[in-house]
Structure 1
Amino acid sequence: MKDIRFHISLYVIIPVIFAGIAILSIIVTYNTTTYYLSRALNPMWPVVWWGMLLIAFTLICGILIVKLLIDPVKRFVIKTKGLGIVKNVSPQQNASAATDDMGKFTMVFEQVSELLSKVEARQLFPDIIGQSKVMRGVFNQIVKVAPKESTVLITGETGTGKELIARSIHQHSKRQDRPFVAINCAAIPEALLESELFGYEKGAFTGANTKKPGKFELADGGTLFLDEIGDMPLETQAKVLRAIEESAIERVGAIKPTTVNVRFIAATNRNLEEMVDRGLFRQDLFYRLNVFSILLPPLRHRREDIPLLTEKFLNEMDKERHLSSEALQVLMTNDWPGNVRELKNALESAAVLADEKILPSNLPMSLKRNGSQHVSSIHLNETTIDSNGNADLDQRIKDYERRIIVDALRRSGGVQVKAATLLGIKERSLWHRIKKHQIDIAEFKP
């Protein structure tokens, strides 16, 4: 049997229902009043009884609407809280939290949407470790630009993973079954860069015994990733610009151009706009590449991703290693000028020195010095307060006291007399605090 039901939006049905009730009440009230007045009777009591009936009818309609709309939402919130995937945030912990049901529902929905966005990030981009808000913003940009044919310019500091972003764009594009070819413009000498990009014909120069296709031809139908394009010579920039605009290249020593169909993704850790102003980069090429720009945040701007990155890198190592909480604290407070690459190298170095548990003493000295300078300010703001949304003030103060003591012990090399002097307390008082927080002194001794 054919389904003849019509699906009308609730935004239309509910206003129409209440508007209909209002119109009906006006018509009935008018007719009742006219009827009684025409017969020289007092219409007060009929109108009062009609008003009471109307109030009861409206009340029943309101209750039905609440039951039909609010009850399913309430059941969803209760079931979600029962699964333990959202936090019970009280108004004292969140000033913006409302005490009514709608405010609580809104907070639960926000937490669920946050959780779903993290799950989506892991599923869509399994090769990229990052669940922070800034990285999810980058993922959102990738999803939007990947299906297009637009040229993409990826900017960011060295070691932030620009090639991983470029590969993700290719994997989510219509060219995913075609080649992805990457070339580092800074790693190839200027004299060889042109032949690497465009290829050469046999006999084009001394040693060219056979013809060789360039990166443009190898990426035909797919994606060409030009890494560190800011280091490309101006002469080569002009030829790349022509290849992008005309979709054709000329091999070194060739007579006729070769047509190519390539999507371009470029990356750099330099400020191309400043280079354009200084005459070090072609303005027309910059505008041609900067169609859609993605800025990768440095690791210091997404510290909440450090535990995930650390876990991944340690799992990839042959020997089983796990990180102590004090060592993780040092990693969390470091500025990481080398970003993800520096973090990976530091963990590899620490894994070589450590037995099973990586301690702060196993980390490179530069990290320990930097961590001791920033622990009291950065870690309190980024880790203590948001690591446990349900922690009370006493617990936060206790955690902060422990971190300060750990920092002093690290700076003093585990010598309690020096640590007590740095903290401005007596050695006996420090000893009691160390015992209370169950801090292992051996971890800080060289």
Structure 2
Amino acid sequence: MTQKHYHISLYIIIPVIFGGFAILASVMSFRLTEYCMEHHLDPGTPAFWLAIIIGGITYACTLLILWIILRPVEKFIEETKQLRVLSDRKPEENKKKKSTDKIKEFTQVFEQVTDVLTMVEVRKYFPDIIADSKAMRGVLSQVMKVAPTDTTVLILGESGTGKELIATGIYENSLRKDKPFIALNCTAVPDELWESELFGHEKGAFTGAIAKKPGKFELANKGTFFLDEIGDMPLKTQAKLLRVLQEGEFERVGGLHSIKVDIRFIAATNKDITQMVEEGTFREDLYHRLNVFPVRLPSLRERKEDILVLTDHFLQKNVPEPAKVSPVASQLLMAHAWPGNVRELQNAVERATVMCEEDAIQAEHLPENVKKSLTNQTIAPLKELLSIDEKLEEIEKNLIIEALRKGGGFQVNAAKLLGISPRKLAHRIGKYNIDPKSFKKS
């Protein structure tokens, strides 16, 4: 005989249990008072013991319910704490005294788990985009929502922030991923070729048109059309693009018949397009037609958590045996403003790998503009009149002293903290006349 199983939500069970206790207490209190009045007894003492009994039963039931609910949660928390991917995220917090606030502890672990799951999801759907920062994960979360639709997307962001990668990611996660993906860089099209490039032309439409040529719109039919740097499109062409967006049709240059197309549009620009609308250099109606789902990409200085992650990625990409980045070089990379964003960082890392002859990239291997960023950053106590090289040496010396102090004066421990070999540390200790013995505890 098949057994039937019924599942009742805890949102129903728990209120019913405590509501039942309240009703039971009211009924028993009424009956007890009634009984005492009939027998001319003082109801105070029996009512007191009744309250104690019902309170004790309620307390026991509450503990049982909490144990049933929280025990699996506590088990989950303990198991997740053993995962390296979580325990390594905030090592300084793991050294603190264990919190007695269970709710706070649960919340922190759940937030870490959510962060890890979000990163896993991002890396699954956007393998070419390297991003661990919350700012970029928020952007990619929006992209994942809009990608499966046919909604027009406008990608905004400074040059070098990865707008083309985002457009490609939208296409690869869309329902049109098996259809054409046509990209056009609007800065690379001469003014006289815009119409032919977009709409195509018929044979004999103009001098040199020796054959019929399909335009980008025809090639993108049923697929996705990416207009990169659309802020550079001439006003005359903008008007004709608007018609295609609104009506889904156009004519070839020299053609007599309209051609219907079904295209999903993605546009991108590094310009302040709202200001261009105010100045009259970009059509307001086209802006509103493109700005259905805007996606703003943060600059690299707004997502500093990604700088060293991206650096490691570029190192693995550029050399067979990736070099490490010294602590001083890491400080410089984090201090620089990166006006060229990810593209500038990639170029700087590639240059450093060419210049580096050791197993670690040092400060001197980085471009001059990156090293000069120290003048506007407080990385260590520096003298204003020191040259860049002297400042770098002062930073390196301070880092070595701090590592020796934390390592109890033992060079092996200090070398591990600095990420260099004991031999190289010994060389630098001699260079700066540092006495490791002075850091050993008596």
Gaps of 5+ in 1: 378-399, 424-428
Match of 2:135 in 1: 134
Deviations 1:94-144 (A, max 9, x none): 9xx974222222222122212222222212211101010000010111011
Deviation at 1:413, TM superposition (A): 7.8
1:398-409 correspondence runs (5 A): none
Match of 2:366 in 1: 363
- Cα pair distance change 1:134/1:189, threshold 3 Å: same
How many Å separate the matches in 1 of 2:232 and 2:26?
A: 78
2 CA distance for matches of 1:204 and 1:211? 9
Which 5+ residue runs of structure 2 have no aligned equivalent? 405-413, 415-424, 432-442
Alpha-carbon distance in 2 for matches of 1:440, 1:249: 72
The structure-2 alpha-carbon separation of the partners of 1:91 and 1:23, relative to structure 1 and needing over 3 Å to count, comes to: farther
Equivalent residue, structure 2, for 1:75: 75
Q: 1:91, 1:98 within 8 Å by CA — same for their partners in 2?
A: no
Cα distance between partner residues in 2 of 1:409 and 1:322: 27
Query: Shift of the alpha carbon at 1:285?
Result: 0.2
Larger deviation, residues 221-230 vs 203-212 = 203-212
Task: Provide Cα deviations, 1:267-300, integer angstroms capped at 9, x if missing partner.
Answer: 0000111111111000100000001100001111
RMSD: 3.1
**What is the Cα deviation at residue 375 of structure 1?**
3.9
Cα distance in 2 for partners of 1:25, 1:104 equals 36
Superposed counterparts of 1:11-160, under 5 Å: 11-84=11-84, 85-86=86-87, 87=90, 99-160=100-161
Following superposition, the deviation at residue 411 of structure 1 comes to: 2.9
Query: In 2 relative to 1, CA 248–413 (structure 1 residues): closer, same or farther, beyond 3 Å?
Result: same
Q: Partner amino acid for 1:350? A: A
Q: In the alignment, is residue 411 of structure 1 matched against residue 399 of structure 2?
A: no
Q: Return closer, same or farther for 1:440/1:127 CA change in 2, 3 Å cut-off.
A: farther
Q: Could you tell me which residue of structure 2 aligns to residue 311 of structure 1? A: 312
Q: Is the 8 A contact 1:321 1:358 kept in 2?
A: no
Question: Is this contact kept in 2: 1:227–1:267, CA < 8 A?
Answer: yes
Q: Distance in 2 between matches of 1:184 and 1:241?
A: 18
Relative to structure 1, is the Cα distance of residues 234 and 69 closer, same or farther in structure 2, using a 3 angstrom cutoff? same
Letter in 2 for 1:373: T
For residues 40 and 181 of structure 1, the distance between their equivalents in structure 2, rounded to whole angstroms, comes to: 95
- Measured after TM superposition, the shift of residue 431 of structure 1 is 12
1:382 matched residue in structure 2: none
In structure 2, do the counterparts of structure 1 residues 434 and 141 end up closer, same or farther at CA, with 3 Å as the change threshold? closer
Please tell me whether the aligned partners of residues 319 and 353 of structure 2 are also in contact (alpha carbons under 8 angstroms).
no
Number of residue equivalences? 405
Counterpart of 2:175 in 1: which secondary structure? coil
2:275 alignment counterpart: 274
2:375 equivalent in structure 1: 373
2:8 aligned partner, one-letter code: I
Matched residue of 1:251: which SS? coil
Counting only pairs closer than 5 Å after superposition, residues 210-289 of structure 1 correspond to structure 2 as 210-289=211-290
Deviations 1:283-332 (A, max 9, x none): 10000000110000111111111122112222222553414322222222
Q: What is the distance in 1 between the residues matched to 2:386 and 2:91?
A: 35
Give 3-state SS (helix, strand or coil) of 1:147's partner.
Answer: coil
TM-score, normalised with respect to structure 2: 0.83
1:359 maps to a residue whose letter is Q
CA distance in 1, matches of 2:248, 2:427: 64
- The corresponding residue for 1:334 is 336
Q: Which residue of 2 aligns with 1:353?
A: 355
Give TM-score, length-normalised by structure 1. 0.83
What is the rounded CA distance, in whole Å, between the counterparts of 2:233 and 2:273 in structure 1? 12
Residue 4 of structure 1 and its aligned partner are, at CA, apart by 3.7
Distance 2:322 2:21 in 1: 70
**Could you tell me which amino acid in structure 1 is paired with residue 370 of structure 2?**
L
Deviation at 1:210, TM superposition (A): 1.5
Q: Is the 8 A contact 1:91 1:99 kept in 2?
A: no
Check conservation: 1:331, 1:367, Cα contact below 8 A.
yes
Against the structure 1 CA distance between its residues 307 and 276, is the aligned structure 2 distance closer, same or farther, given a 3 Å change threshold?
same
Letter in 2 for 1:22: A
C-alpha deviation, 1:46, in angstroms: 3.8
Q: Per the alignment, in what secondary structure is the counterpart of residue 82 of structure 2?
A: helix
Closer, same or farther: CA 10–355 of 1 in aligned 2, 3 Å: same
Residues 42 and 76 (structure 1), Cα distance of their counterparts in 2 relative to 1, 3 Å cut: same
Offset at 1:237? 0.3
Matches within 5 A, 1:390-401: none
Alignment partner of 1:412: what SS?
helix
Corresponding letter in the other structure for 1:63: L
Aligned amino acid, residue 352 of structure 1: V
Tell me how far 1:51 sits from its aligned partner.
Answer: 2.5
- Structure 1 residue 354, shift from structure 2 partner: 2.1
Shift of residue 412, structure 1, vs aligned partner: 2.3
CA distance in 2, matches of 1:138, 1:236: 30
SS for the counterpart of 2:378 is: helix
- The one-letter amino acid of 2:73's match is V
